[in-house]
Every structure is written in C-alpha cells, then in structure tokens.
C-alpha cells in the first residue's frame, strides 16, 4: 500500500472534532460580523475616494481660485475638473461593480482575480488623482513663471522649479510607501496564492 493511502485511511478514521457546534451556536456565528479581506478592501477603497476628495475642503478654494485667475488658469482648472470628476464617477462605478462581482462561490482562481481587480481599480484611481495633482502643479508652476517673468532671474526660476519638484516627489514618495505597506500587508497572502495557481496555468 502506498504511504499516502495508509494516511488516507487514518484521515478517514479521525474522530469528529471536539468543537462541534449546535445549530444555535451556528446561527450566532452566521450572524456575526465578517472580517474578510474583501470587506477591508471595500472600506479602504471608500476611504481613499473620500479622503482624496475631501482634500479640497482643507484648501481655501476662494484663495486658490483667485490665484488661478491671476495666472490665467481659470479655464484650465474648470474644464480639467469636469474631466476629473467624470473620471472619478467612472472609477466609483467600476469599483462598486467589481466589488459586487466578488463571490466566495467562484473557483479559487477567479475569486482571487476579482479581488485583485477590485483593488487595482482603487489603485488606478489613486494614480490618476496623483497624476492630476502633479499636472496642476506643473501647469501652475509654468504659468507663475511666465506671469512673473520680468521680476524673476534665472536663479529664482530654478529655485521655483526645484522646490515644486521636490515637494511633488516628496508627497508621491510618502503616498507610494504608504500604499506599499497597506496593500502589501493586506494582500501578501492572496498575491502569493494567486501566483502559485496562475503559474500552474501558464506552465502548460
């Protein structure tokens, strides 16, 4: 008899688990709160949408608009914000649809794919948002240099470019680190298991 066949017999003969639950206990457990990874992705995803959009509340928008007006950027800001909000809406819908498609009754690999897809929707939204912020910073920097060209010497221009570059990189760097940590911790196991299954399917 093969070694594993012997163990299979042992496996089959194992007694029932001592922690057998009654229907009342099962009922209570079924009603309790899930702490599944999908729930966390949903909560964190929603928080990201909320936090990125509430940043505007912390900035004095009247003052910002007055500044844009001075730089002749008011049209750029207006139209680009229409585009940005349409894209935000698109991402929110996609996020919700992807989230709803996640089902524990799927095959293991499909379930993993859908979880990863949902999280990627949020990641792409965050990337888009950061890209948009960077674009505004670049445009505003160029516009302010052009507007104040007479008062500026090369040294000052260089300083403005350098300062905004550093500030942008710093913010992006901190956010990237934060994301790596957050999703790295949350999805480490899932990514590893997905790779293990996917590797198998591409090998053949």
Partner 1 sequence: MQKDLENKFLLDFEENQNIVHKICSIYTTNKDAHNDLFQEITIQVWKNYVKFRGDSKFSTWMYRVALNTAISLYRKSPRKVKTQDYSSFAYKIESTPYDDTEEKQLKALYAAIHQLNDIEKALIFLYLEDKPYKEISETLGITNVNARVKMNRAKEKLKNILNP
d(CA 22, CA 5): 33
- By CB atoms closer than 10 A (0-12, 13-18, 19+), residue 203 is exposed
Instruction: Please count the other Cβ atoms lying within 10 Å of the Cβ belonging to residue 102.
Output: 20
- Report the nearest approach of partner 1 to the CB of residue 16 (Å): 5
Give yes or no for residue 34 binding partner 1 (CB under 8 A): yes
* Long-range pairs of 106-111 with CB within 8 A, sequence gap ≥ 24: 108/193, 108/197, 109/194, 109/197, 109/198, 109/201
- Report the nearest approach of partner 1 to the CB of residue 117 (Å): 13
> 112 or 140, CB closer to partner 1?
112
Name the residue among 139, 122, 138, 119 with its Cα closest to residue 52. 122
d(CA 149, CA 157): 9
Stretch that binds partner 1, among 25-33, 67-75, 139-147, 150-158 (CB under 8 A): 25-33
Give yes or no for residue 1 binding partner 1 (CB under 8 A): no
- Report the nearest approach of partner 1 to the CB of residue 121 (Å): 18
Enumerate residues 173-192 that contact partner 1 by CB under 8 A: 186, 189-190, 192
> 40 or 49, CB closer to partner 1?
40
Binding site for partner 1 (CB under 8 A): 3-4, 6-8, 10-23, 26-27, 29-30, 32-38, 40, 103-112, 115, 186, 189-190, 192-193, 196-197, 200-201, 203-204
């Amino acid at each position: 008899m093969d070694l594993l066949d012997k163990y299979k017999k042992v496996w089959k003969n194992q007694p029932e688990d001592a922690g057998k639950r009654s229907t009342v206990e099962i009922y209570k457990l079924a009603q309790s709160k899930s702490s599944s990874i999908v729930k966390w992705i949903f909560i964190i995803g929603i928080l990201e949408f909320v936090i990125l959009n509430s940043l505007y509340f912390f900035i004095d928008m009247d003052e910002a608009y007055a500044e844009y007006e001075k730089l002749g950027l008011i049209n750029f800001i207006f139209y680009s914000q229409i585009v940005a909000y349409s894209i935000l809406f698109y991402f929110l819908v996609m996020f919700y649809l992807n989230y709803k498609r996640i089902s524990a009754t799927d095959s293991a690999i499909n379930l993993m794919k859908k979880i990863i897809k949902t999280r990627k929707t949020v990641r792409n939204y965050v990337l888009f948002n950061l890209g948009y912020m960077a674009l505004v910073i670049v445009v505003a920097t160029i516009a302010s240099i052009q507007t104040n060209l007479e008062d500026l010497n090369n040294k000052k221009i260089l300083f403005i470019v350098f300062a905004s570059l550093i500030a942008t990189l710093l913010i992006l760097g901190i956010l990237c680190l934060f994301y790596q940590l957050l999703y790295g911790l949350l999805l480490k196991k899932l990514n590893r298991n997905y790779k293990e299954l996917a590797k198998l399917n591409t090998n053949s």
